[in-house]
Amino acid sequence: MFGDYSLTDLSSIFVMQGFAGLILFSVYTLMALGLAIIFGQMGVINMAHGEFMILGAYVTYLCSGFFQTHLPALFPAYFFVAMALAFVASGALGMLVEWALIRHLYKRPLDTLLATWGLSLILQQTYRTVFGAREVGVELPSWLIGSVQVTDSIEIPINGMFVMAITTLITLGVALLMYRSRFGAQVRAVVQNRPMAGAVGIDTEKVDRLTFGLGCGIAGIAGSAFTMVGSTGPTSGQLYIVDTFLIVVFGGAASLLGTIASAFSISQTQSTLEFFLSGSTAKVITLLAVVGILMLRPQGLFTLKVRR
C-alpha cells in the first residue's frame, strides 16, 4: 500500500493525515472527557451523551443565526458566547436528568443504560421536531476560514487549529478542576469511598449532580466545537457514542490521562488507515484492534487502584 508514493509524499501524507487525526482526536477527547467524568467517576453509563453533545451543537447553530441577524458587528466573536451557552444548556439539562432519572438508578447500572437510551431517543425526536431532519451547519466567521501553508504539500486548516486549541484549554481546565480544586477533591473522595465522604460532611448527592452536570456540559462544548468541523443532524450524536465509550474503556475508566492517550491512539490509527484503505475498513480495523486489546486487558491502558 506504500509502493506508489515517494518518500516526501509519504511524509506529507502522514503529516496531513496526522493533522486530520488531531482534529478527530480533539472532538473525541472533548466527548470522552465528559464521559470519563460520568462513567469513570460515577460509574453511570450515559447513552444520551451524544445527544447532550448535539444540544451544544444546536445551541451554537442558534447563536450563529442570532448574531448574524441581530448583532453582525459582534459576529466574529460569537463562537465564545455560543460555547459558554452550550456548556450552560447541556449542563443544566444534565443536572435535571440526574435529578429526575439517574439518581434513582445508581444501584442498577445496566438499567441506567436502558433509561438513558430511552432519553436519547426522546431527545433525538425532539431535535427532529424542532430543527428538522436535515443536517444544519454554522456560518464560520471569516477569521476561522482558510488554511496555513506550511510547505508546498502541507497545509493546515485554521478551524482545525482553533478546535485543537480549545480542546487543550478545556482539558487543562478539567485536569485543574479535578486534581487541584476543592470540588475535584470532593468528587474523588465520593468515588473512592462514598459513606466515608458523606461522614466527613461532603454532600454526596450535590456532588453527584454537579459531576453529572459537568460531564454533560463538557459534552455541550464538544458539540459546539464539532460544528466547526462538521454539520449537525438529529442523529449525529449516535454516530460517536460507541467510539467514545470504547475510548473511555480503552483508556481505563477512571483515568483522565488514559482517556486522552486512548483518544489519541484511536483517532491517529483511524485517520492514518483511512488514507490507505476505505473509511469503513479503517474503522473496522481500528475498532477490532481496540476490542481485541480490551479482551486481553479489560482494565484498559491506565488503571487507578480504587477500593470499592
Partner 1 sequence: MIRPASPSTVHDNPFMKPMEWVSLALLAAVIFLVLPLCLDAFRLNLAGKYLSYAFVALGLVICWGFGGILSLGQGVFFGLGGYCMAMYLKLEASSVENTKIQSTPGIPDFMDWNQITALPWFWKPFASLPFTLIAVIVVPALFAFVVGTAMFRRRVGGTYFAIITQAIAAILTILIVGQQGYTGGINGITDLRTLNGWDIRTDSAHNILYFVNGALLVACILFAQYVKRSKLGRILVAMRDKEDRVRFSGYSVAGFKTFAFCLAAVFAAIGGAMFTLQVGFMSPSFVGIVPSIEMVIYAAVGGRLSLFGAVWGTLLVNWAKTTFSESFPELWLFGLGGLFILVVLAFPNGLAGIYRTYVEPRLTRRAKAPESAPTALPHAAE
Binding-site ranges for partner 1 (CB under 8 A): 39, 43, 45, 101, 104-105, 108-115, 117-122, 124-125, 128-129, 238, 242, 245-246, 249, 278, 280-281, 283-284, 287-288, 290-291, 294-296, 298
| Grid cell in block for residue 234 | 438529529
| Grid cell in block for residue 139 | 456560518
Q: Which residues of 171-189 are buried (b: 16+ CB within 10 A; e: fewer)?
A: beebeeebeeeeebebbbb
Task: State the minimum distance, in angstroms, from the CB of residue 204 to partner 1.
Answer: 21
Q: Find out whether 270 and 258 touch, Cβ atoms under 8 Å.
A: no
* CB of 169 or CB of 239, closer to partner 1: 239
The one-letter code for the residue type at 302 is: F
- Point out which residues pair with 148 in neighbouring strands: 156
Residue 284 to residue 290: CA distance in whole angstroms = 10
Task: State the minimum distance, in angstroms, from the CB of residue 124 to partner 1.
Answer: 7
* CB of 162 or CB of 240, closer to partner 1: 240
* CB of 70 or CB of 108, closer to partner 1: 108
* CB of 64 or CB of 267, closer to partner 1: 267
Task: State the minimum distance, in angstroms, from the CB of residue 105 to partner 1.
Answer: 7
| Torsion from C-alpha of 160, 47, 215, 106, nearest 10 degrees | -170
* CB of 145 or CB of 242, closer to partner 1: 242
Task: State the minimum distance, in angstroms, from the CB of residue 114 to partner 1.
Answer: 5
Q: Which of 56, 38, 13 is nearest to 228 (CA)?
A: 56
